[in-house]
Structure 1
Amino acid sequence: MVETLTPTSSSSCWWRRWWVPVIHNHNHNHRRWISTITNFLSTHKTFLIALWFAFFFTLFYWQRDAATGGLLLFRRTFPSRSIPKLRPVAFNLTDFGAVGDGVTVNTAAFERAVRAISRLGKKGGGQLDVPPGYWLTAPFNLTSHMTLFLAEGAVILGINDEKYWPLMPPLPSYGYGREHPGPRYGSLIHGQNLKDVVITGHNGTINGQGQTWWTKYRQKLLNHTRGPLVQIMWSRDILISNITLRDSPFWTLHPYDCKNVTIRNLTILAPIFEAPNTDGIDPDSCEDMVIEDCYISVGDDGIAIKSGWDQYGIAYRRPSVNILIRNLVIRSMVSAGISIGSEMSGGVSNVTVENVLIWNSRRAVRIKTAPGRGGYVRNIIYRNLTFDNVRVGIVIKTDYNEHPDAAFDPKAFPILKDISYTSIHGEGVRVPVRIQGSEEIPVRNVTFWDMSVGITYKKKHIFQCAFVEGRVIGTVFPAPCENLDLYDEQGHLIKKSTSQNVSDIDYDF
């Protein structure tokens, strides 16, 4: 048999050139090879066992580090990667005495660095480079014309003892600390009345270490409202990009009464359960904002557009307007992927949400309000949305009765109108649409066009409506509620609704 496997000149038989000698010498060599391996294993048995345990021990802690911060001993080191110079002058955090060991408190170093940059405003500002390491700090403020650059492997850690967090007055459009009357805790990274601020990096991390805050909140041990991770107020020309924000004590990123804000390429993380109120991004009374190319998985709303709370928001009169949200992946098991409200008393208008995947979530897109809010939600466009394993897809809710105090006007009814949903697709959805208007707060001029959502329940009322007026254009699956007029693809009326006040709301599923 072996002699028939002689090499040939054909290139298709290349394997024969090495297979023949292997077969020919197989019986001679395999005993020697097995003997050698056996002797090695016997001689080095203890060493190999130790090596095996060391490998899995290191792997375990490396994974633990990646998920939770881990132990300093096993934290990965990152190769040097050049940091772009985005300002005329750049400083390194270590120039100001900072130590990135995860233990040393570096608040004073951050403050010295910000003061140095504040002197350079007329020269184009300055850049603060945060190198790889674990930089523990209490809250600190930014300054105008500043770039905060987080290198790969850089982690800014928020100190988790509330006595180091300053107290601030309530937001003027809320009149209340949100969780408690009176003052509220400030944010880990804060800025007020700023211009031209950049927070970016090579995907470095700002970690609020919110676990202690969440526990104290649930146990009712806090006397003031928890602070956000990053909050920028009364500012303009803000860029936040290419970083990771995680484990905020409260809302994660909160731009308040800002103009010209770009948020791009962020990863925002918090546990999907037992991390209360850890919204991802909360634009609040903001104008001209873009949020794009982000991944958000948090313990409350992925994005929540706001504009003040009841009588305080009505008096403050700062709407959220001209906001573009696109190219996002969001998960929210507790609340909704993208919400408007419920604090929307200053008004919300001209919002476009497009190219968004919402998966494994309780709700996908939601508008929520209540009597007493006042204000309006109008000119809202949802386009090209995908729902994957979502309990309720589209929600409009008008009885979200949570108020700062008893002084609100119960007859301040918000206006909801001019809302469109185009190219809505998905699968694994229990209730695709639930629009719950009311006699005092009807929902007007709602449009559905090109919708096909795979459902998990086959009950009748899965497209639910109450006090809603609008239209369906072309084919929509599942079958729409009777409150909406039906049009064909060419815009010709097929069937006029007999009543916009029919209620199909069914909370049993």
Structure 2
Amino acid sequence: MNIKVFTGIVFLCLATVSAKSQQQDWKVDASVILEKISEPDFPDRIFKISSETVKENVADVINKKIDECSKAGGGKVVLASGEYFCEGPLILKDNVNLHLEKNTKLVFSQKPEDYLPVVLVRWEGTEAWNYSPFIYASDVENIAITGKGIIDGNGSAEESFREWRPLQKKDQNKLREMGKNGVPVNERVFGKGHFLRPQLIHLLNCKNILLEDITIKNGAFWLIQPTYCDNITVRGVKVDSRFINNDGVDIDSDTNVLIENCNFNTGDDFVAIKSGRDQDGWRVNKPSKNILIRNCVSENCLHGISFGSELSGGIENVICQNLTFKKVRSYGVQFKSNKDRGGYLKNVILDNIQIDTAETCISFTNQYHSYSGGNNPTAFENILIRNLKCNIAQEKAISMIGLPEMPIQNVKLENVTIQKSGELSVVDNVINMSFINVKY
């Protein structure tokens, strides 16, 4: 075990250490989380669409069927096998299951004017009015996207929203300043003439959600982003979208979330758990909590499971178990914030995590980039990582960097093996930490 120990840390540097240094007086129970999660139920009504009979804009046809289905009391809007080209967003309504049959492919246009008028979104942790996400819902209940079909964000097109990323900095900074200064949300209008990329699937303030068996490809920005939502199940979903900012799922100020049996190959985080950015996150004040992520695989991602950095509303009560990451291009397990964020991260259990290769296996930092001079550090506490195995950490096995004024607290590593690592591990400003059967 090679470790560099800095001033300000209370740490026992042994491969096997008694747990007496940490009294675990907190508990996160998967069964308690599952008790609060149930799938939406839909009437037997079927509203079917065939690509062969569509003679107008597919988005208009599907939205009409969604409206008809919802007004009838709910049911299933079925896209029969075939390819559909949507020139505009799909808007989900109460009690509608949008079902893509096997061999169905839903492809979205890349014309900005197709995604106007603007709608309310949360963009990288700050609320704004922006181009509509490709699939959008706001303030509805009992919704689903299911089936064996493919949703293609068309980000690989020659001209796509993906090309906006190098152009977004001015608008990105403007929105962040609006959030910092408390500009009323109805005055934060972007859209035409601006370059904030739209999300692929963005569900805002919705309840009782199911995403099951679909495949998602080629997003230009965040792929699946439920925000302020409650009672969410994501099951058997496949993601193959490897452009920058393509996270598998962004859990964003959501409660009662189950993600299971998924395969996410992404250009960014496998799953990111967030809850708002800085002052705007404090204003909304909604944590992400009661989250279970289990039995999932990623063959290729930039980061594995990620907490933050937008966590100003707080994150609590999270269990991640039975996750396999084959190639992680940066951090395998990442907890990140900075002194602008505030908020908190507590009561997290990671159990049975398998990582083939990563740059750094386990990373904690309260000094993440984009810091702009605030004085609101994030409290990290009550974190258990057990039964983790990593074959190769090309850089550090473990990096834990807290702050002198806000040390990371109550961290326990148990049955952790990192077979090979490059640089010395770093632990700085961590108190009440225990290692039990840790080898690296």
* TM-score grouping bracket, smaller chain normalisation: 0.7 to 0.9
1:383 maps to 2:339:
no
Instruction: Give the equivalent residue in structure 2 for 1:210.
Output: 155
The reply on whether 1:193 has 2:160 as its aligned counterpart is no
Aligned to 2:359, the other structure's residue is in SS state strand
Q: Does 1:87 align with 2:87?
A: no
Q: Is 1:132–1:151's contact at 8 Å kept on the other side of the alignment?
A: yes
2:250 matches 1:282: yes
C-alpha contact 1:371 1:401 (8 A) present in aligned 2: no
The answer to whether the Cα contact below 8 Å between 1:263 and 1:292 also exists between their aligned partners in 2 is yes
Deviates more, 1:282-291 or 1:432-441: 432-441
- Partner of 1:283: helix, strand, or coil? strand
Give the Å deviation of 1:419: 0.6
- Cα displacement (A) at 1:150: 0.6
In the TM superposition, what is the alpha-carbon distance from 1:328 to its structure 2 partner? 1.0
**1:1-20 matches, cutoff 5 A:** none
| Aligned equivalents of 1:97, 1:233: Cα separation in 2 | 32
Amino acid paired to 1:344: L
Deviation per CA, 1:73-99, whole angstroms, max 9, x where unpaired?
xxxxxxxxxxxx963210111399526
Pick the aligned partner of 2:392 from 393, 404, 428. 428
Q: Corresponding residue for 2:91?
A: 141
**Which shows bigger deviation, 338-347 or 203-212?**
203-212
1 CA distance for matches of 2:256 and 2:327? Answer: 30
AA of the residue aligned to 1:443: I
- Alignment check: 8 A CA contact 1:173 1:313 kept: no
| SS of equivalent to 2:390 | strand
Structure 1 residue 231 corresponds to structure 2 residue 176: no
Instruction: From the superposition, tell whether residues 126 and 371 of structure 1 become closer, same or farther in structure 2 (CA, over 3 Å).
Output: same
Max Rg structure: 1
More strand by share: 2
CA contact (8 A) 2:354 2:388 kept: yes
Matched to 1:144, the amino acid is D
RMSD: 2.2
Structure 2 residue 378 is the aligned partner of structure 1 residue 414 = yes
Cα distance in 2 between the residues matched to 1:226 and 1:308: 18
The equivalent of 1:474 in structure 2 is 436
Structure with the larger helix share: 1
CA distance in 1: counterparts of 2:361 and 2:109, whole angstroms: 38
Aligned pair count reads: 370
What are the Cα deviations for residues 333-354 of structure 1, in whole angstroms up to 9, with x where unaligned? 53x1111110000000000111
1:109 aligns with 2:76: no
Q: Does 1:356 align with 2:356?
A: no
Distance in 2 (alpha carbons) for counterparts of 1:144 and 1:170: 19
Deviations 1:278-302 (A, max 9, x none): 1110010000000011100111111
Post-superposition Cα deviations, 1:153-209, rounded to whole Å, max 9, x if no partner, equal 1011111111211223453994465xxxxx4222111111111112111x2011110
Deviation at 1:132, TM superposition (A): 1.2
Q: Which residue of 2 aligns with 1:156?
A: 106
**Equivalent residue, structure 1, for 2:27:** none
Residue 382 of structure 2 aligns with an amino acid whose one-letter code is: D
Q: Matched residues in 1 for 2:71 and 2:121: separation? A: 30
Give 2:225's aligned residue. Answer: 254
Q: Distance between the aligned counterparts of 2:210 and 2:90, measured in 1? A: 18
Aligned to 1:184: 130
Tell me the amino acid that sits aligned with residue 133 of structure 1.
G
**Partners of 2:51 and 2:82 within 8 A in 1:** no
Distance, in Å, in 2 between the alignment partners of 1:220 and 1:307 is 22
2:11: which partner in 1? none
Distance 1:217 1:380, change over 3 A: same
**Aligned pairs for 1:422-501 within 5 A:** 422-430=386-394, 431-457=396-422, 459=423, 461=424, 463-478=425-440
Please give the alpha-carbon distance, in whole angstroms, between the structure 2 residues aligned to 1:172 and 1:281: 14
Structure 1 pair 243–170 and aligned structure 2 pair: CA distance change class (3 A):
closer
**Pair 1:96–1:286, CA change in 2 (3 A):** farther
1:190 maps to a residue whose letter is: Y
Residue 422 of structure 1 aligns with an amino acid whose one-letter code is R
Q: Which amino acid is the alignment partner of residue 154 of structure 2?
A: Q
User: 5+ unaligned residues in a row in structure 2: which ranges?
Assistant: 1-40, 170-192
**Do residues 346 (structure 1) and 342 (structure 2) align?**
no
TM-score of the pair, normalised by structure 2: 0.80
How far apart in 2 are the matches of 1:358 and 1:436? Answer: 24
- Deviations 1:263-289, CA, capped at 9 Å, x for gaps: 000001112xxx221111001000000
List per-residue Cα deviations over 1:307-332 (Å, max 9, x = no partner). 00001101111000000011111245
Amino acid in the other structure paired with 2:358: V
Q: Which residue of 2 aligns with 1:294?
A: 262
> 2:64 is matched by which residue type in structure 1?
R
Name the structure 2 match of 1:118.
Answer: 70
- Cα distance in 2, alignment partners of residues 136 and 95 from structure 1: 9
Please give the alpha-carbon distance, in whole angstroms, between the structure 2 residues aligned to 1:263 and 1:419.
Answer: 24
Using structure 1 for the length normalisation, give the TM-score. 0.69
Report which structure shows greater RCO (CA 8 Å, sep ≥6).
Answer: 2
**Pairwise CA distance, 1:440:** 3.0
The 1:172/1:455 distance shift into structure 2, 3 A limit, reads: closer
C-alpha distance in 2 between matches for 1:118 and 1:253: 22
Partner residue, 2:333:
365
Offset at 1:416?
A: 0.6
- Between the aligned partners of 1:154 and 1:118, the Cα distance in structure 2 is 22
The aligned amino acid for 1:106 is V
Is 2:123 aligned against 1:168?
Answer: no
Amino acid at match of 2:202: Q
What do the CA deviations read for 1:200-241 (whole angstroms, capped 9, x no partner)? 11x201111013222332366972311111111111111110
